[in-house]
Structure 1
């Protein structure tokens, strides 16, 4: 028998393994396959671009786990936490933790959902591997946060915090939206818009910041997670092209999904802009630079030029996101500061070098944002808002973004549906709401629970109980017990204090 080549071996190991429901109506077994209007002529020709068999997958992942855990063990054993240049960095890691880790777990469920409802063997095998990837990422991140919880507030009750924290509705709404869409739309949402378009800007800039400030543990988390993303990105690109090539009638459907899910993912990742620009004391890259590199150059000027031959244009609100790159991180950080009493991660008084860097990187900062943050110099609660913000009916982000064309007005939009007014944060989210009002009119708004008395007679105390936090775990970092413990740890190790 002739020895099989790589392609033939992969095909033999991953094909003809599906159950053929000869005694059942295939439409009953796969009830969603025709619901979205997607036309499939010969999906069997589609291949997972990596052609990775399961035994290869396990071997590679095992080696990567071994490398990561070696770095993590060394970091923990050598008091790496105390050696970062400024402890405020860990407030950003908390912010990353309570948003990204639940998203990783939700992504594994979403990939399982896609594999269950799309009877194409190559897609099923690829989504099976990716589902395991997402669980691996969630477990690695939980392991990281478990160590952090020994040193830092805010992470001692991740199950409750992840479930009930108001800001987590941003991530949950994205994945709930995808899980309640059809399987092909869900595939575009996660494999294309989430993985291909935004995965680089999610992990690479913040991991670079981790290396710059001395957090080798988180840098290793970013590297081992990002090493899987190349496969996820390839799946997204291959799946998109497969659907476009199957039938030209798929093109307008796909375009609508790209319009929607680009903006959904862009808004979901808004907090990353603040993480990159504000939380590291040493910044290897700005949000604006990262957006220009990973979104404008790689996606808009690269990928979408290749998709033009299929009749695909840029996402509908791509230009709005380009305009916002000058203001995005500052707007988000301002929101985090205003509602710091409701978060498990603290904000902080900006230092002189922060103002210098921000003013240099963003010409608009001095005129439109510096005075806001200077309010904290004398009174850290000068900008604090009691309670919870009014949020967008679609993305769940507070609807308080300025119009980059006129900084004196907000982008906030309004829609009417069944006699009720719904607020959205931008034209992009209004467009999404107006296309599917029945879906988004059912959203849960934490502020309604707050105002409706669901937190009891003392809503502030009720909110802390609901989120699993205490008042001492919120507020400002440099006056917190976390910062005091970090300084004491450094003194105990004989390390010189670098920053206040």
Structure 2
């Protein structure tokens, strides 16, 4: 066989039409979303990869990654990072991203099961395995980290129960309860195509800059898979747009929703880029301009105009918010550092200098907040719990970018009850499907309702698998003291001139 014939035989020709059951019974969701499919068989997987090719490529990538990981672990790489507070950011990444990778594998399996298009089924099959690979690589990384740092010894329990993780979980639960085509747009387009570069590339670059070669290798090997995922999302999007004009308004609605859902979920990535590394190759603002504004808004969406697709509904709001995003999110995390698996930290003089140079509004609106920590590391600790957004489940503490002294909190009425959202983008999403988002459950409500005993604080830490001394502020922690002692033991604290 030629290459094309062999590809068809090993992937496309495995599909069949059932004789004893109606297709609508086998694929009950295929018509539920209103998507019109005229000739889906013409859709091609852009990579045209057979399974044996896939396994060979992935095996080679695993071999390269694990060689880097083994060398890092054998050579005391943990002690050689520029500043141990970096690992607080890695804990954030661990808690949010690894469970999201696992959820993404379930989501791709759901899409493949419910869309009877051979190329999509095979592509989602490969992507589901990719996502499992990412989850396992990250767990391997965290298993080594847990020997040296706090917060990861009960990783499975913490990831399942920590209140912070309701944000990524709500995103994937939302997609899993959507139809298969909407789920495909949620993960392969909005998550993968629009935001995956800004998730892995800047943070992996920061890892390399601060000396964490292990995490840099994680970012590189994961991102190498994302190029295929991005291609799947783009091909699927164009296929649906070209099938029938009646698909266009449906898809536009999905792009409006899932752009903002993914953007809000990635809010914590902005802090990982701007705050946790002591050496920063790029700011969140510049990364957003490069990967989202230039590549997506000024590139992709210009190409989509011929189909009648415009920019996502609240794209302009996210552009305005780039001046504030990382500072507001870091402010939220700092207020609740006493109840998380990752610690906050006092900003150092070089932090203030860098943030001031990169963000003209930092000194006026955000520096005074962080300065209060200089004399008391818990000066900004919140005495209560925040009001959270009914859609994204991030605390509703974002300022209006046009008026930074005023909160952006929105209010919606449904069934004689008032619901709050963090922004006009989340308000729009809520009002499209209020019956869906009114049902959220937030762990903090359970704490306050006494579900964890008479002492809600002790019950909280038991529930999430941590002890109180694993939270708080980094530079005053036992973990930081251990890291300094580790460096002294290795002679890394000596300076030679």
| TM-score past 0.5 threshold | yes
Q: Determine if contact 1:387/1:460 at 8 Å carries over to the other structure.
A: no
Tell me the equivalent position of 1:233: 230
Q: How does 1:182-331 map to 2 (within 5 A)?
A: 182-331=179-328
The residue matched to 2:187 in structure 1 has which SS?
Answer: helix
Tell me the equivalent position of 1:398: 395
The residue matched to 1:248 in structure 2 has which SS?
Answer: coil
CA RMSD, aligned part only?
0.9
Tell me the equivalent position of 2:170: 173
Q: Determine if contact 2:15/2:118 at 8 Å carries over to the other structure.
A: yes
Deviation at 1:342, TM superposition (A): 1.2
- Please give the alpha-carbon distance, in whole angstroms, between the structure 2 residues aligned to 1:237 and 1:327: 30
The residue matched to 1:336 in structure 2 has which SS?
Answer: helix
Q: Determine if contact 2:161/2:443 at 8 Å carries over to the other structure.
A: no
Deviation at 1:417, TM superposition (A): 1.1
Q: How does 1:79-478 map to 2 (within 5 A)?
A: 79-478=76-475
Q: Determine if contact 1:390/1:447 at 8 Å carries over to the other structure.
A: no
Deviation at 1:19, TM superposition (A): 3.6
Q: Determine if contact 1:137/1:225 at 8 Å carries over to the other structure.
A: yes
Q: Determine if contact 2:206/2:281 at 8 Å carries over to the other structure.
A: yes
Q: Determine if contact 1:342/1:387 at 8 Å carries over to the other structure.
A: no
Tell me the equivalent position of 2:48: 51
- Please give the alpha-carbon distance, in whole angstroms, between the structure 1 residues aligned to 2:282 and 2:81: 18
Q: Determine if contact 2:334/2:381 at 8 Å carries over to the other structure.
A: yes
Q: Which runs of 5+ in 1 are unaligned?
A: none
- Please give the alpha-carbon distance, in whole angstroms, between the structure 2 residues aligned to 1:437 and 1:220: 42
Q: Which runs of 5+ in 2 are unaligned?
A: none
Deviation at 1:13, TM superposition (A): 1.5
Residue 25 (structure 1) aligned with residue 22 (structure 2): yes
TM-superposition CA deviations, 1:82-138 (whole Å, max 9, x none): 000000000000000000000000000000000000000000000000000000000
- Please give the alpha-carbon distance, in whole angstroms, between the structure 1 residues aligned to 2:384 and 2:41: 54
Q: Determine if contact 1:49/1:234 at 8 Å carries over to the other structure.
A: yes
- Please give the alpha-carbon distance, in whole angstroms, between the structure 1 residues aligned to 2:15 and 2:38: 18
Q: Determine if contact 2:356/2:363 at 8 Å carries over to the other structure.
A: yes
TM-superposition CA deviations, 1:373-430 (whole Å, max 9, x none): 0000000111001343221110010000001100111110111111111110000000
Tell me the equivalent position of 1:480: 477
Judged with a 3 Å threshold, the aligned counterparts in structure 2 of structure 1 residues 441 and 497 are, in CA distance, closer, same or farther, namely: farther
- Please give the alpha-carbon distance, in whole angstroms, between the structure 2 residues aligned to 1:334 and 1:354: 15
- Please give the alpha-carbon distance, in whole angstroms, between the structure 2 residues aligned to 1:431 and 1:77: 51
Deviation at 1:497, TM superposition (A): 6.5
Deviation at 1:8, TM superposition (A): 2.7
- Please give the alpha-carbon distance, in whole angstroms, between the structure 2 residues aligned to 1:295 and 1:447: 33
Deviation at 1:232, TM superposition (A): 0.2
The residue matched to 2:48 in structure 1 has which SS?
Answer: coil
The residue matched to 2:440 in structure 1 has which SS?
Answer: coil
- Please give the alpha-carbon distance, in whole angstroms, between the structure 2 residues aligned to 1:166 and 1:431: 24
The residue matched to 1:495 in structure 2 has which SS?
Answer: coil
- Please give the alpha-carbon distance, in whole angstroms, between the structure 2 residues aligned to 1:496 and 1:485: 13
Residue 64 (structure 1) aligned with residue 61 (structure 2): yes
- Please give the alpha-carbon distance, in whole angstroms, between the structure 2 residues aligned to 1:445 and 1:414: 19
Deviation at 1:447, TM superposition (A): 2.7
The residue matched to 1:16 in structure 2 has which SS?
Answer: helix
- Please give the alpha-carbon distance, in whole angstroms, between the structure 1 residues aligned to 2:144 and 2:276: 20
Judged with a 3 Å threshold, the aligned counterparts in structure 2 of structure 1 residues 197 and 497 are, in CA distance, closer, same or farther, namely: farther
